[in-house]
Structure 1
Amino acid sequence: MTILLFGITRDIVGNASFSIPVNESCTLENVGELKMYLTDHFPAFNELSSLAIAVNSNYATDSTLITPNDEIALIPPVSGG
């Protein structure tokens, strides 16, 4: 599973993307479980005020199903005017 990172999420992980190994991504059934995986591996995600997730270019909810072949984008909170 490929995870694309933007803004502060890229700073937290230290790369513009990373992959979750197939043996681990097979255990993740939905976006909610992916969020738990991310906070377990990168505790700084817990400090974000919000985090939008897109699955294959579509915004997703916690119940959106995911597969190891999906492309996931983490979209952090934005500010500005």
Structure 2
Amino acid sequence: MNYRERVVSDHQTMLGKPVIKGTRITVELVLRKLSEGATTQDLLIMYPHLQEIDVLAALMYASDVLANEEIIMAKAA
């Protein structure tokens, strides 16, 4: 699966935060709920617009962002 088919960013929706396509449900919200102990099934009940593939896409998006993160080390003075 390609998360880019399910996760989009548009400056006119949620100030450009990545959201599940066709919703205002942010990737951040999905990750936060999962980190608080919610299951995928819980999310599908709380947000009927979501599909299981959307939750997986949010996880794939987050892992891709972290995998491509660059760390810049400042020199000590």
Q: Which structure ranks higher in relative contact order (CA pairs < 8 Å, sequence separation ≥ 6)?
A: 1
> TM-score over 0.5 for the alignment?
no
Bigger-Rg structure (1/2): 2
TM-score by length of 2: 0.32
